[in-house]
Amino acid sequence: MHARRHFKPWRRAFYLLQASVMIGLPFLRVGGESALRFDIPALRLLFFGRALFIEDFFLFLLAMLLFVMIFVFLTILLGRVWCGWFCPQSAIIELQTMFRGALRRFRLPDNIANIAFHASAIALSMLISATLIWYFLPPAEMLEMLVSGSPLVRGFWIVQAALVYLMATLWGRRFCRYVCPYARMQGALFDNSTLRIEFDENRRDECLNCGLCAKVCPTGIDIRDGLQTGCVACAECVDACRDMTGKRGIAPLVRYSFGARLFIRPQSIISAIAIAAFAALFGALAFSGPDFDMTVSRTPGPLFALTADGSVINHYRVSVRNKTGVEREFRLSIAGNNRLALAGNNTLTVGPNGFNAVHAAVVCASPCKAAASGQVVFVLNGGGEAISREAAFFGQ
């Protein structure tokens, strides 16, 4: 009955779920493209059927800012729940611990078990390194480049795998305790009501002094000495104490606790409202407006060309970005100056999440005087929506 109330099986289930999602996501495709990938050659972020191009990167920065705000807010409320339940470093360490436990069942000689463990840790590091690359290169393309001997991909894969192996296997929880920058921020983010693992000082006389809570701690601290920066909130000590105190029919002395004050306090309500407002603003910016874009620039060279009959021509380059996963047709027109006309074909097709640039010639028919100089407005229509961009037109 007590085993069901242990945190460890839940944490392990979380880690396995997290690992499955992280490794599986690069294989998921939406609209023929990776569901989530940063496409370096095209400088775009593929995000579940939408494409964020370099010119939309202020949205990406806003998303990062929103992520940091949520992360800080959750840390103030829930302490190091990230470290104990979600951190990839913790997940790798826990997966390795599970594998070490499975090896023990075979009762192998120590040196063989050690070799098998490190071989599995290296294989896991290589898989993690490949997974990280898959968020930039599709898996099939990455594997093809590995086989064909691309020095960049091979080198990156090996160096990254070595770092993962070093961090998770050789440093393990020492990384959490001495290196991780997030751990260093804890002191500044915790307040009296932050969720933490703590020893119940009011019941110290009930402690059996078995020392199991300190023995199982992966970062080597004794929670009976109070909250310490080394604590990654893994709840191993809670489970251990529950095992010991359960035999005496008393509640564990080590537990999750919100401290003396209320979980819901004015600061948390204000922060939650601020984050919700920021998220709404981000959503409005990210998902409103047409899903295509246009830039207009003048082509290099003379300001205008003069034809034999006295007409004036200005040349432009019009670049159209299709941000959807399907091919689309657009119609280009001009407005703002009724003496001007767009010459040639004014429809263009742009592939899924693609880009197309066309040459546009704007003509001011003879007699075209200086009064024709001014602004010309390019209008792009696509799927019932329209966007416009202004450009300068030069007459004689």
| Contacts to ligand SF4 by CB under 6 A | 197, 199, 207-213, 216-219, 221, 223-224, 231-237, 240-241, 244-245, 253-254
Q: What's the min distance (Å) between Cβ of 80 and ligand SF4?
A: 8
Q: What's the min distance (Å) between Cβ of 4 and ligand SF4?
A: 19
Please say which residue, 215 or 369, places its beta carbon nearer to ligand SF4.
215
Q: What's the min distance (Å) between Cβ of 179 and ligand SF4?
A: 16
Q: What's the min distance (Å) between Cβ of 243 and ligand SF4?
A: 8
Q: How many CB atoms lie within 10 A of CB 70?
A: 15
Task: Tell me if 327 sits within 8 A of 351, measured CB to CB.
Answer: yes
Q: What's the min distance (Å) between Cβ of 203 and ligand SF4?
A: 9
Q: What's the min distance (Å) between Cβ of 194 and ligand SF4?
A: 14
Q: What's the min distance (Å) between Cβ of 211 and ligand SF4?
A: 5
Q: What's the min distance (Å) between Cβ of 209 and ligand SF4?
A: 5
Please say which residue, 245 or 322, places its beta carbon nearer to ligand SF4.
245
Please say which residue, 258 or 282, places its beta carbon nearer to ligand SF4.
258
Please say which residue, 137 or 244, places its beta carbon nearer to ligand SF4.
244
Please say which residue, 215 or 261, places its beta carbon nearer to ligand SF4.
215
Please say which residue, 54 or 208, places its beta carbon nearer to ligand SF4.
208
Residue 85 phi, psi dihedral angles, 5° rounding: -120, -25
Please say which residue, 29 or 174, places its beta carbon nearer to ligand SF4.
174
Task: Tell me if 229 sits within 8 A of 263, measured CB to CB.
Answer: no
Please say which residue, 237 or 391, places its beta carbon nearer to ligand SF4.
237
Please say which residue, 205 or 309, places its beta carbon nearer to ligand SF4.
205
Q: What's the min distance (Å) between Cβ of 90 and ligand SF4?
A: 10
